[in-house]
């Protein structure tokens, strides 16, 4: 592996999530392979900040210049890996061998994003429920403790996703592929946060004050994903779930992810059908999928969020459990096209004639009631709902929360 001089990813005037961090910069990044080669790379970098006592979050991400795609290395130790840093010169150590294995790129770069706000996780405290005048947000470098159901009930955990470039869609030979999964390059230009878990029934109840209407065969269980949520209940009016979060945090960047943001976060650098780095072994049942998600071959209902293995950056249930609402409108026939895109989002569909009160939004990720091919990273499905009919939804559809990387918005 030939490690060239690393590019500076955040300059003094670089905009991150709409916010200009004029007072924080990452400079003089230098990567040095250990000799003799043992798989470790020393990353020396300088944090400049007008406040010498400010605590700065540092987020490294990889870029494979041979392919033009972002990779998500995770094995870091040293200054900034598990702690904040202050202004000055620091060293982080990357275990490249653990992350990349037999890696042969001749043009690999480590980019670094840093700022006072860009913590690896944000946590929304919703324990006060509808009686709370505000929901406090705290930052964390470490992920949630799955042995404590707090992360599934009275808190909402969200993971920072740095900007980057990936291949959206699927290759023509992918098992279970549908023809609306055109393979093309997509660039996400700004960092964002996305839910570590799908929003659960208890979280919905705390924010909304009541549970959604359920059918007789629905499972009511606090730590399982909420379902039968009509899209209009998520974002229309002050009493929708998302607007309730916005108003109680006074941060208005909360929303649903776009299809592209969802797939980018799901894949976390993988090009395979599953975000574990593996492909399907069958379209109905698949032992590779059994390890990472709930679907029709390994369960008859939803499972507690976080029951299966996460992807590389710690997101759970991106495959199966419930399909997840996205911001994009569209129908199954919409093709993505093969041209490169930047921050794409589809417009609404079905808004004229007899369909005037109906809309279609895209859902991603597959569900507990669908076969293996429906849970692939690239799978795209449209769901049509009637905006004034809260029950017009499905026991297979839930959602996970999104937020811009600029927590001041």
- Which of helix, strand or coil describes residue 376? coil
Average pLDDT of the residues in 288-309: 96
Q: What's the pLDDT band for 237 if we cut at 50, 70, 90?
A: confident
For residue 289, the model assigns a pLDDT of 98
Confirm whether 15-115 and 123-404 share one CATH topology.
no
pLDDT value at position 388?
63
Quick one: pLDDT at residue 232? 81
DSSP 89: E
pLDDT of residue 9: 29
- What's the CATH fold of domain 123-404? 3.90.1580
- Split at pLDDT 50, 70, 90, the class of 215 is low
Report whether pLDDT(264) > 90: yes
Residue 332 has pLDDT above 60, yes or no: no
- Taking residues 229-241, report their average pLDDT: 83
Q: Which of 230-244, 294-308, 361-375 comes out lowest in average pLDDT?
A: 230-244
Distance CA 87, CA 65 (A): 29
Q: Where are the domains of the chain?
A: 15-115, 123-404
Determine the Cα–Cα distance for residues 396 and 323; give it in Å rounded to an integer.
Answer: 6
pLDDT tops 90 at residue 8: no
Please give, one letter per residue, the 3-state secondary structure of 7-74.
CCCCCCCCEECCEECCCEEEEEEEEEECCCCCCEEEEEEEEEECCCCCCEEEEEEEEECCCCEEECCC
- Residue 2 reports pLDDT greater than 70: no
Q: Would you place residue 101 in the very low, low, confident or very high pLDDT band (cuts 50, 70, 90)?
A: confident
Q: How far is CA 149 from CA 138, 186, 200, 261, 318, in A?
A: 18, 36, 11, 27, 19
pLDDT value at position 104? Answer: 73
Residue 347 in this model has a pLDDT that exceeds 90: no
Confidence of residue 6 (pLDDT cuts 50, 70, 90): very low
Provide mean pLDDT across the span 226-245.
Answer: 86
Query: What is the predicted pLDDT for the residue at 190?
Result: 94
Mean pLDDT of 81-103: 92
- Give me the pLDDT at residue 409, please: 65
Give residues with Cβ within 8 angstroms of 221, minimum separation 6. Answer: 201, 302, 304
Architecture (CATH level 2) of domain 15-115: Sandwich (2.60)
- Residue 26, pLDDT > 80, answer yes
In this predicted structure, the answer to whether residue 355 has a pLDDT above a threshold of 80 is: no
- Binned at pLDDT 50, 70 and 90, residue 3 comes out as very low
More confident residue, 353 or 230: 230
C-alpha distances (whole Å) from 32 to each of 15, 75, 234 are: 28, 16, 48
Q: What's the whole-number average pLDDT of the chain?
A: 87
**Mean per-residue pLDDT, 326-345:** 84
324 or 331, which is more confident: 324
| Count of other CB atoms within 10 angstroms of residue 36 | 5
Confidence of residue 357 (pLDDT cuts 50, 70, 90): low
Tens digit of each residue's pLDDT (9 = 90 or more) over 128-157? 999 999 999 999 999 999 999 999 999 999
The predicted pLDDT at position 353 comes to: 43
Q: C-alpha distances in angstroms, 13 versus 35, 109, 270, 304?
A: 36, 21, 31, 43
Average pLDDT over residues 172-188: 96
């Amino acid at each position: 592996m030939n490690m060239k001089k690393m590019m500076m990813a955040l300059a003094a005037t670089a905009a991150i999530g709409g916010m200009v961090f004029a007072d924080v910069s990452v400079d003089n990044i230098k990567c040095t392979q250990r000799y003799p080669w043992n798989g470790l790379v020393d990353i020396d970098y300088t944090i400049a900040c007008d406040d010498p006592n400010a605590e700065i979050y540092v987020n490294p991400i990889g870029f494979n210049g041979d392919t033009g795609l972002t990779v998500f290395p995770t094995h870091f130790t040293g200054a900034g890996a598990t702690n904040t840093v202050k202004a000055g010169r620091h060293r982080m150590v990357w275990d490249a061998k653990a992350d990349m294995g037999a890696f042969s790129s001749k043009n690999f770069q480590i980019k670094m994003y840093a700022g006072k706000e860009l913590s690896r996780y944000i946590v929304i405290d919703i324990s006060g429920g509808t009686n709370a005048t505000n929901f406090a947000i705290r930052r964390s470098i470490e992920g949630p403790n799955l042995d404590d159901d707090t992360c599934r009930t009275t808190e909402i955990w969200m993971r920072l996703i740095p900007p980057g470039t990936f291949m959206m869609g699927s290759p023509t030979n992918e098992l279970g592929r549908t023809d609306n999964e055109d393979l093309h390059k997509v660039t996400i230009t700004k960092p964002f946060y996305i839910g570590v878990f799908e929003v659960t029934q208890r979280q919905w109840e705390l924010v909304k004050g009541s549970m959604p209407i359920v059918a007789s065969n629905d499972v009511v269980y606090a730590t399982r994903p909420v379902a039968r949520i009509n899209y209009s209940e998520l974002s229309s009016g002050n009493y929708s779930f998302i607007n309730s979060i916005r108003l109680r945090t006074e941060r208005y960047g909360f929303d649903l992810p776009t299809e592209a943001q969802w797939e980018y976060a799901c894949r976390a650098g993988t090009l395979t059908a599953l975000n574990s780095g593996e492909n399907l072994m069958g379209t109905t049942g698949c032992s590779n999928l059994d390890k990472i998600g709930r679907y029709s071959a390994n369960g008859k209902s939803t499972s507690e969020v976080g029951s299966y293995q996460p992807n590389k950056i710690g997101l759970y249930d991106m495959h199966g459990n419930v399909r997840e609402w996205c911001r994009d409108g569209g129908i199954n026939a919409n093709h993505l096209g093969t041209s490169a895109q930047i921050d794409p989002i589809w417009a609404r569909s079905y808004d004229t004639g007899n369909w005037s009160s109906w809309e279609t939004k895209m859902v991603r990720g597959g569900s507990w009631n669908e076969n293996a091919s429906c849970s692939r990273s690239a799978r795209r499905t449209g769901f049509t709902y009637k905006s004034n009919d809260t029950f017009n939804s499905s026991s297979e559809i839930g959602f996970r929360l999104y937020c811009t990387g600029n927590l001041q918005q």
